[in-house]
Amino acid sequence: MAKTYQRTKLQEVTIRGYKSIAYDRPVTLKLGDVSILLGANGAGKSNIISFFRMLSYMMSKSFGRYVEISGTSHALLHYGIKRTPVMSGELKFADSNSMDVYGFSLANATPDRLIITEERITWHRKGEKKPYEIALEPNFKESALAECEDPVAKTIFQMLSYCKVYQFHDSSTEGPLRQACPVETANYLQSHGNNLPSFLLFLRENYKDAYNRIVDYVRDVVPQFQDFYLEPVGGIISLRWIDNSATDYRFNAYQFSDGSIRFIALAALLLQPAQTMPNVIILDEPELGLHPYAISQLAEMIKDASIHAQVIIATQSKDLVDHFDIGDISVVEMNKETQATSVTHLDAKEYHLWLQNYTVSELWDKNIIGGRPVLKRRLFMSFVRDRRNRDLWRKCCVPTCKRKVWQV
């Protein structure tokens, strides 16, 4: 899967009416090379990730299937169809010369299904006053973008097709990461790692440098690991490996720990060569089950991947966020008054004084940047009892902070 549009980036995403996101209080994500969605349980991080998953189904003409596996249209619309009969999304891609925009609307239809009622594309070149705009003839059941012959539509379709959601949480005995797979499913890594052994074999045979880097990172995190043993049998390949002892024993995928096999899948995804990498990689809680040192290596791999692709991460890991700049972080919260998800992109300038004394995770833990339940008064008073903290609070937060915390 060659990446064609290396200079074009997903700049902004706006979501209305989807799951925990209210239609009249849209969420807008401002995206960079690395974008971290930080928030507590139930804030709506996974709902934002699933919006991108829905887009993947739309681009593969499987939108109806996505609605089926999600339950009903009630499960996808904010508080159901009575409160939110429609939802919409808009994605902006930009490079140094132009901006491409794709927008769509979905509406409830009987019996308990969603239909695509509107799709529109806009192309705006810098220096031109009037953008190029077209409205696609609605297909209702599936996206019309894939079939559109318009060159701008084809460009947008290809960019959207290279936005991929990955999740490697299922490391159970029956899970996809431990299963054998056909050798021919090799030239890209599937979203749940179903073809992990064939993809590693593909990299070993075609991109040896990338394969060696994956092996080096796995050795660093799994000390007994030496290399993968990838030998197809009858067109099927299993994830086998050898350790660093002098024996010729071959281990199988079931002899990796949960954290180890998840890390292997993450390494294969994030250290693959630019030629096979998606434009946008989206991961939900990739730190799950990883040791703190493995999380530090994960952060390195994310930064490495961001040279060639944009990486969007949803997390609640304090260990992970401390490896990134505060400007990479957007805080996801559930507003108790509106019962809707909100997103706030953090401005490094606003917190530069705090960061002279605290890490990002400490500011999150103390609710300075939000994203956690409102502080108990006892904890808050303990925090500001230190004169240094109290002075910082008065200087940085009291004039500008919009959160529900106590002024001192």
pLDDT tens-digit map of 149-192 = 999 999 999 999 999 999 999 999 999 999 999 998 788 999 99
Q: Write down the pLDDT at residue 382.
A: 56
Helix 208-221 × helix 196-206 angle, to 10°: 130
Q: Write down the pLDDT at residue 399.
A: 47
Same domain, 216 and 356: no
Averaged pLDDT, 305-329? 96
Q: Write down the pLDDT at residue 408.
A: 35
Task: Record the tokens describing residue 260, joined without a space.
Answer: 């180890």
Residue 395, pLDDT > 80, answer no
Same domain, 363 and 224: no
Is 154 within 8 Å of 160 (Cβ atoms)?
A: no
Q: Write down the pLDDT at residue 327.
A: 96
Same domain, 82 and 144: yes
Residue 197, pLDDT > 50, answer yes
Q: Write down the pLDDT at residue 126.
A: 85
Task: Record the tokens describing residue 253, joined without a space.
Answer: 């995928």
Same domain, 163 and 33: yes
Looking at per-residue pLDDT, the higher value among 371 and 397 belongs to 371
Averaged pLDDT, 260-267? 98
**Cα dihedral: 8, 12, 13, 16 (round 10):** -150
Residue 389, pLDDT > 70, answer no
Interval 83-123: pLDDT, tens: 999 999 999 999 989 999 999 999 999 878 899 999 999 99
Residue 377, pLDDT > 50, answer no
Residue 402, pLDDT > 50, answer no
C-alpha distances out from residue 276 to 9, 94, 207, 282, 339, Å? 17, 21, 10, 15, 40
Interval 224-255: pLDDT, tens: 999 999 999 999 999 999 999 878 899 999 99
Q: Write down the pLDDT at residue 4.
A: 45
> What are the start-end ranges of the H helices in 271-376?
292-305, 318-321, 360-365
Averaged pLDDT, 368-387? 60
Residue 43, pLDDT > 70, answer yes
Residue 269, in any domain of the structure:
no
- Catalogue the long-range contacts made by 74-78 (C-beta closer than 8 Å, 24 or more residues apart): 74/112, 75/19, 76/18, 76/19, 76/106, 76/114, 77/17, 77/18, 77/19, 77/108, 77/114, 78/17, 78/18, 78/19, 78/20, 78/21, 78/22, 78/23, 78/340
Total domains in the chain come to 3
Q: Write down the pLDDT at residue 370.
A: 86
**Backbone dihedral angles phi then psi of residue 4, each to the nearest 5 degrees:** -95, -35
d(CA 322, CA 318): 6
Same domain, 126 and 13: yes
Task: Record the tokens describing residue 182, joined without a space.
Answer: 């056909």
Residue 136, pLDDT > 90, answer yes
Nearest Cα neighbor of 37 from 348, 332, 342 is 332
Same domain, 223 and 317: no
Same domain, 86 and 138: yes
* Furthest C-alpha separation in the chain: 71
Between strands 310-315 and 280-284, the pairing is parallel
Residue 316, pLDDT > 90, answer yes
Averaged pLDDT, 45-68? 95
Query: Which of 261, 284, 304 lies at the terminal end of a domain, its last residue?
Result: 261
Q: Write down the pLDDT at residue 113.
A: 87
Averaged pLDDT, 312-330? 96
Same domain, 208 and 288: no
Percent of the chain with pLDDT over 70: 89
Interval 64-74: pLDDT, tens: 999 989 888 88
Same domain, 22 and 50: yes
Q: Under 8 Å CB-to-CB from 315, ≥6 apart: which residues? A: 36, 37, 38, 45, 285, 286, 287, 321
Same domain, 232 and 135: no
Q: Write down the pLDDT at residue 388.
A: 57
Same domain, 104 and 48: yes
Residue 320, in any domain of the structure:
yes
Residue 211, in any domain of the structure:
yes
Residue 197, in any domain of the structure:
yes
Average pLDDT, the chain: 90
Q: Write down the pLDDT at residue 296.
A: 97
Residue 10, pLDDT > 60, answer yes
Q: Which residue has the tokens 């250290």?
A: 271
CATH code for the domain of 37: 3.40.50.300
Q: Write down the pLDDT at residue 5.
A: 42
Same domain, 192 and 76: no
d(CA 29, CA 163): 15
Give the structural domain span for 242. Answer: 176-261
Q: Which residue has the tokens 């394969």?
A: 211
Residue 267, in any domain of the structure:
no
